[in-house]
Structure 1
Amino acid sequence: MEADERMLAPHSDLVGGSLPIEAEMEDMDPPPVHFTWKLFNFTSLTAEKIYSPIFTAGDYKWRMQMFPRGNNVKGLSLFLDVAYSETLPHKWCKCAAFSLTVVNQIDSTYSIEKGIFHFYHPYFLLAF
């Protein structure tokens, strides 16, 4: 696995630490938005999936979607999600350039950042 695609440290390495997750978004029109979601006692999370608080970037409301134990993979899975997408017009679509950063405060060598350009649409999703 490439260094920039490796999974974070096993959950046991995060005992007692917080897990800041950040999203940096750039849109063609509005200025960039920086959002930080801090999770405490990460290893004690029991939910299969959790959502961050909702934040606004451009004309859309966004949230982070996290699978602490992975989504068909071993390890943390993290996604940027359009909040309230079911309330948007029928043919809505949005392109977003963003980066997601997960910081391991115990061992920074397990921290990871990934930049993504993503096309959001209610019927299919494409990532570039």
Structure 2
Amino acid sequence: MGNCLCVKPATKDEVTTLNTREAPPAHFMIKIESFNVLEKYGIKKYETKEFVAGDYKWRLIFKFNGKDSDYISVNLAMADTTSLPTNREVNALFSVFLFNQISGNYLSSTEITAMETREASPAHLLVKIESFSLLGTCSIDEYETREFVAEDYKWRLIIYFNGKNCEYVSVSLAMADTSSLPANWEVNVVFNIFLYNQISGNYLSSPGRTRCFLETKSEWGISKFISKKILSDPSNGYLVNDNIVFGAEVFVVKKDAIIECVSLNNINIHYKHDFSFHQ
């Protein structure tokens, strides 16, 4: 996988779409007790302790923004970059969660309905289809890639061309071999599907979708991944010289997160000041 992490705050015109999921975060959880104490003592920022993910150290930064703001901001930051070489870039797919203590599930920032672009190539699979137009000529409605391994499981992409009456190409991720898994198995994953732009050199990406793969539901996908009208126009860069390139990334959500608990019951501050906790 390439190396570039570009994290920017939302502008006034940007909207973050939140979704819910049952699987807990894979890497880190923090519980803040006596949360109202933060506002009482004018604490506008809190930094968590470090946690490790993907061989790098990270921390979450909460910004409470005082009484003039209607929102709480949450940022992900690299916690220790001293050992990294000059001009090092790190590509990261990340999600921020909020636990619903009544329903028992998690509000997640992972899934965004709009497609995005990125320069880094997919981590796990690239498949190039040559003479793409022959699929329609020969009435081939779907294509299954060969198996690939990601996070100790076998997967394949399934590309549905949906015949002449459908205006979109659909792409799904499916578990390719489940014979060795125990009965009633369950695998929670975050996956991305990509389409290579052969003109710009970057990738059209479906931002991370969190899905639960089960014995009874081993395939998930995007029914309207890209319209045939956009795809068939060579000037858009996706279908050039009758060649097209799809890609995929699959990350399993594991239940081994570090848990941090912050208790503010005994805090005693005689003045107000902006500061950060480091644990």
Q: What TM-score range do you get, normalising by the shorter chain?
A: 0.5 to 0.7
Structure 2 residue matching 1:44: 3-state secondary structure: helix
Tell me if the contact between 2:157 and 2:172 (Cα under 8 Å) persists in the aligned partners: yes
Aligned mate of 1:44, from 129, 134, 140 = 134
- The structure-2 alpha-carbon separation of the partners of 1:69 and 1:124, relative to structure 1 and needing over 3 Å to count, comes to closer
Is 1:4 the equivalent of 2:114?
A: yes
Tell me if the contact between 1:62 and 1:80 (Cα under 8 Å) persists in the aligned partners: yes
- Once residues 154 and 188 of structure 2 are traced to their aligned partners in structure 1, the CA distance between those partners, rounded to angstroms, is 13
CA-CA distance at 1:61 after TM superposition: 0.4
Q: Where does structure 2 lack aligned partners over 5 or more consecutive residues?
A: 1-111, 116-120, 221-279
Which residue number corresponds to residue 34 of structure 1? 124
CA-CA distance at 1:118 after TM superposition: 1.2
Which residue number corresponds to residue 74 of structure 1? 167
- The structure-2 alpha-carbon separation of the partners of 1:60 and 1:3, relative to structure 1 and needing over 3 Å to count, comes to closer
Which residue number corresponds to residue 205 of structure 2? 113
Which residue number corresponds to residue 189 of structure 2? 96
Cα deviations by residue, 1:64-115 (Å, 9 ceiling, x for unpaired): 0110236x9521100110002355322111111121111243688xx63102
- The structure-2 alpha-carbon separation of the partners of 1:57 and 1:3, relative to structure 1 and needing over 3 Å to count, comes to closer
Tell me if the contact between 2:158 and 2:173 (Cα under 8 Å) persists in the aligned partners: yes
Q: State TM-score, norm by structure 2.
A: 0.30
- Once residues 166 and 179 of structure 2 are traced to their aligned partners in structure 1, the CA distance between those partners, rounded to angstroms, is 27
- The structure-2 alpha-carbon separation of the partners of 1:35 and 1:117, relative to structure 1 and needing over 3 Å to count, comes to same
Q: Which amino acid aligns with 1:42?
A: F
Larger radius of gyration: 2
Q: State TM-score, norm by structure 1.
A: 0.60
CA-CA distance at 1:123 after TM superposition: 2.2
Structure 2 residue matching 1:69: 3-state secondary structure: coil
Which protein has the bigger helix share? 1
- The structure-2 alpha-carbon separation of the partners of 1:124 and 1:62, relative to structure 1 and needing over 3 Å to count, comes to closer
Tell me if the contact between 1:54 and 1:61 (Cα under 8 Å) persists in the aligned partners: yes
Cα deviations by residue, 1:36-87 (Å, 9 ceiling, x for unpaired): 11111222113222111101112210000110236x9521100110002355
RMSD (Å), alpha carbons: 3.4
Q: Where does structure 1 lack aligned partners over 5 or more consecutive residues?
A: 6-22, 25-32
**Deviation larger for 99-108 or 85-94:** 99-108
Which residue number corresponds to residue 122 of structure 1? 215
- Once residues 118 and 39 of structure 1 are traced to their aligned partners in structure 2, the CA distance between those partners, rounded to angstroms, is 27
Tell me if the contact between 2:174 and 2:219 (Cα under 8 Å) persists in the aligned partners: no
Once the two structures are aligned, what percentage of the paired residues are identical?
24
Q: Which amino acid aligns with 1:4?
A: A
- Once residues 107 and 75 of structure 1 are traced to their aligned partners in structure 2, the CA distance between those partners, rounded to angstroms, is 22
- The structure-2 alpha-carbon separation of the partners of 1:73 and 1:104, relative to structure 1 and needing over 3 Å to count, comes to farther
- The structure-2 alpha-carbon separation of the partners of 1:43 and 1:87, relative to structure 1 and needing over 3 Å to count, comes to farther
